[in-house]
Amino acid sequence: MDEAFPDARVENWESLVDSIRGVPDSDDRHVIAAAIEGNASVIVTDNLRDFPDSALEQHSLHAVSSDEFLLDVLDLNQVRVVKALEAMVEKRRRPPVTMDELLYRLERSMAPRFADEMRGIVDEL
């Protein structure tokens, strides 16, 4: 992770964990603590039930699904998203994967609306 996302590591969040309230699963408090310390505004998770707005709003955070996040990124910069997916397809060698296969996997795993939107974009290219 450090190599791919050098700015993603958040440190010194531990002292905040005990102050986090309102999450159904107390084992998720570290995620909110890291988001606070990292000055994030969004937590991307497909486990939205464990990050209710009532627990996040007091920290100026909100949670979005992977699908919603990817759609937001696509809306911000369609060209870069297309290039990133094309690079993923190009790098995949064992086994190779086509754009259709990649979008199918995204659809089946966590991002059906994003995959559908991307299919429309790819079809236009």
CA-based torsion, 1, 47, 31, 111: positive or negative? positive
Q: What is the pLDDT of residue 53?
A: 95
For residue 6, what pLDDT is reported?
Answer: 81
- What is the residue whose two structure tokens read 């994003």? 114
Q: Is the pLDDT of residue 40 over 90?
A: yes
Angstrom distance (rounded) from CA 45 to CA 61: 13
Report pTM: 0.86
Interval 44-51 mean pLDDT: 96
Q: Which residues does residue 62 pair with via DSSP β-bridges, in sequence order?
A: 42
Per-residue model confidence as pLDDT tens digits over 61-95 = 999 999 999 999 999 999 999 999 999 999 998 89
Express each pLDDT in 4-39 by its tens digit: 778 888 999 999 999 999 999 999 999 999 999 999
